[in-house]
Amino acid sequence: MNEQERLIKVYTGTMIDVDVRMEHLEENGIPTLVRDDFQSGLMAGVVTGVPSAIDLFVFERDADRALVLIAEFEENRWENHSAVPSAE
């Protein structure tokens, strides 16, 4: 990793949503960084940020591919989701 590499925000959402996308990117060889300003603020004793606004970053060199993978994930996330069985 080059210390001069820029990080690009590719997604913002809840921690659960960010975790799923982070795992998907890392499974595809893209390193990630998560920033949670709300949690960081709590640890510092100052309330900053929003609890549901967790940011997911990747290196600039991986940003285009990451955005494609996230878009594909969004498009396909319900394909394998089975319907809830009826209570009958």
CATH number at residue 51: 3.30.70
String of b and e for 33-58 (b: at least 16 CB within 10 Å)? eebbebeeeeeeeeeebeeeebbbbb
Give the tens place of pLDDT for each residue, 18-46. 999 999 999 999 999 998 865 544 444 55
Average pLDDT along the chain: 80
Residue 34 domain-assigned?
yes
pLDDT of residue 30: 98
Residue 84 domain-assigned?
no
Residue 26 region by backbone torsions, left for phi larger than 0, else alpha for psi between -120 and 50, else beta: alpha
Residue 2 domain-assigned?
no
For the cut 90, the answer to whether the pLDDT of residue 66 exceeds it is yes
Count: domains in the chain: 1
